[in-house]
Amino acid sequence: MFVFAEKLTRQPVGFSLLTGRNDFAGRASHLEIRMFAVAADEQGKGIGKSMLASIIEATPGHRLEASCLPPATKMMRLLAGSGFKLIHETQGGKKTYRFTD
């Protein structure tokens, strides 16, 4: 879990939870961003982009993936703007994005 704080006040402004995903043989295949949130009063300030960049920097050599349900349009834009590529979309509109170094 990553918790992000404002530099001066050290107050939390966001968090993210990553989990390891295994392939069918049980080997770790990639990391998945399972949760990602920025405090409502901190949105629109570039904090989400900075948080995502920190996660990418902290996980070198790992394939990162994130899935978004249709209402998560802000997260989809954030992922696409940070180098994640759309790799799958279900009939229900759930989209999966991938970032690789």
Sheet holding 95-99, edge to edge: 2-5, 12-22, 28-38, 64-68, 95-99, 85-89
Lowest mean pLDDT segment, chosen from 28-37, 42-51, 69-78, 89-98: 28-37
Domain boundaries, the chain: 2-99
The listed CATH number (3.40.50.620, 3.40.50.1820, 3.40.630.30, 3.90.700.10) that belongs to domain 2-99: 3.40.630.30
Quick check: helix, strand or coil at residue 83? coil
Per-residue model confidence (pLDDT) at position 57: 93
Quick: pLDDT tens for 9-61: 999 999 999 998 777 776 667 899 999 999 999 999 999 999 999 999 998 88
DSSP class of residue 61? T
Quick: pLDDT tens for 25-38: 766 678 999 999 99
CA distance 75 to 78: 5
Pairing outcome for strands 85-89 and 64-68: unpaired
Q: Which two tokens stand for residue 63?
A: 């394939």
**Measured on CA atoms in the order 77, 78, 82, 86, is the torsion positive or negative?**
negative
CA distance 72 to 94: 9
> What pTM was estimated for this model as a whole?
0.85
